[in-house]
Structures are given as structure tokens and as C-alpha cells.
Amino acid sequence: MIDVKHLTKTYASTTAVDDLSFRVEPGQVTGFLGPNGAGKSTTMRLILGLATPTSGQALVNGRPYREAPEPMREVGALLDATAVHPGRSAYNHLLALAATHGIGEIRVAEVLAQVGLTPVARKRVGGFSLGMQQRLGIAGALLGDPAVLMFDEPVNGLDPDGVRWIRHLMRGLAAEGRTILLSSHLMSEMALTADHLVIIGRGRLVADTPLSDLTSAYPSLEEAYLQLTGSSVEYR
């Protein structure tokens, strides 16, 4: 479970996250939606302890993520798929991550197969497409078999088959009882993938609701988003 409580982050005169509170429950996909600059990535960084909140707190399974004794076994996260040394192979990148937690080579092979990268496992990441890098980042998030997973725009760079694969993967992970926080600017993906939506605008919460409540209250999710945030969102 992820529990965000009155979280605020200010940079100089700019408030990126403003008194934000929401909870991400296990067993469902929670879509994290908002226009560019709404504070989604900052919120994820705060949850992971990569940035320090100005006030408030974010807890993972009841404690700050920084206090987790084996972080990769508790939370798997993909924030930036390009943050990989281009000279390393996909296999060696994952093997280096695995070594930090005593995870063996068998698990590295398993996650490479799970994301469809086994045929290119020994190739250098510098030659990968963005979609392949996204798959590698997802493999890294799954490496420790964590109960909590966070993905920031994971469909970027994927072809239609890859997007469908992500959708199936997210739904399958949630069905296993895991906690899934998935950010996206694609309303269509939220409609097909998420069970629950957390929508923010200018760093503030504007909706925290089951997807079904929005679909019953508005003629379309695009209209719901426009009414709630005053911004349009890409729908394709």
C-alpha cells in the first residue's frame, strides 16, 4: 500500500506538489493522471525518497521507503527508462541490480523472458529503441518480485502490441494482489487499464475515485478530465 498524506514540495517560488493526499490500495491498478507539469513525477520521486518533501509524508507499507531494509523487494519502480549505461548489455544491467540484493541469475533470466527481451539480452542498451528500454526498465522493477510497483508513463515508445502487453501485465500484477501506481497522459489507457483514478492538477488533488464512478457521471472520460482539471488530455 502507498499512503500519501498532505504531501507538499516547493522549489524556490514554485509549488510542484500542494497538500496532496491519496492512498493506493493493493489488488487494483491506480491510474495517476494529470497534464504535463501537474506534479505526477515529483510525487513519485517523493514516494521513493528521491526528493525530500517540504511538508507531509509518503509511506509505503506503513513506513518511509528509505527505511526499507531491502528496497527492491518492497517496491519496483520505473521513472526513466533511459537511465541505463548505454555500454552495458540488458543482461549485465539487470545482473548488477540483482547483485545489490543477493538476487540470482535465474531471476534475471526470468524477468528478461517476462518482458520479451531474451533474444537481445546480450546486446548493448545503447542500441535499444525507447520501447525496448521501457521493457528493460519494467524488468528492473520486477526483479525483486515486489508487492508495490510504480510506473511513470511506461507505454511511451511502445508499439500497439507493446501497449497491449503493458495493459495485460498491469492487470495481471494487480490480480496477484500487488499495489500498482501507473501514471499516463493517455486517457484511453486509463480507461482500459485502471480500476481507480487519482487525478491531479497544478500539484493538487482534483479527483480520487473509482473509474466506474467517472464513466457513470460523465459522457466520456475525456469530458470528465476536462471538467475536473480545465485541461485536455491526449486520447488515442
Amino acid 153 reads E
Q: What pLDDT sits at residue 236?
A: 37
Please write down the HEC assignment for all residues of 17-42.
EEEEEEEECCCEEEEEECCCCCCHHH
Residue 120 C-alpha cell reads as 537481445
pLDDT surpassing 90 at residue 91? yes
Summarised one tens digit per residue, pLDDT across range 119-149 is: 999 999 999 999 999 999 999 999 999 999 9
Q: Where are the domains of the chain?
A: 2-85+147-231
When the candidates are 3.30.70.1530, 3.40.1280.10, 3.40.50.970, 3.40.50.300, the CATH number that belongs to 2-85+147-231 is: 3.40.50.300
Q: What pLDDT sits at residue 126?
A: 96
Q: Which of 25 and 35 is assigned the larger pLDDT? A: 25
What does the angle CA 94 – CA 98 – CA 99 come to, to the nearest 5 degrees? 120
Rounded Cα distance between 75 and 44, Å, is 12
pLDDT surpassing 70 at residue 92? yes
Q: What pLDDT sits at residue 133?
A: 94
The pLDDT confidence band at residue 231, using thresholds 50, 70 and 90, is low
pTM, to two decimals: 0.93
Q: What pLDDT sits at residue 232?
A: 56
Rounded Cα distance between 78 and 144, Å, is 13
- Which residue do the cell numbers 484511453 mark? 188
Burial of 54 (0-12, 13-18, 19+ CB in 10 A): middle
Percent share of the chain, pLDDT over 70: 97
Summarised one tens digit per residue, pLDDT across range 156-211 is: 878 888 889 999 999 999 999 999 999 987 777 788 899 999 999 889 999 999 99
Q: What pLDDT sits at residue 114?
A: 95
> Quick check: 66 and 73 in contact, CB under 8 A?
no
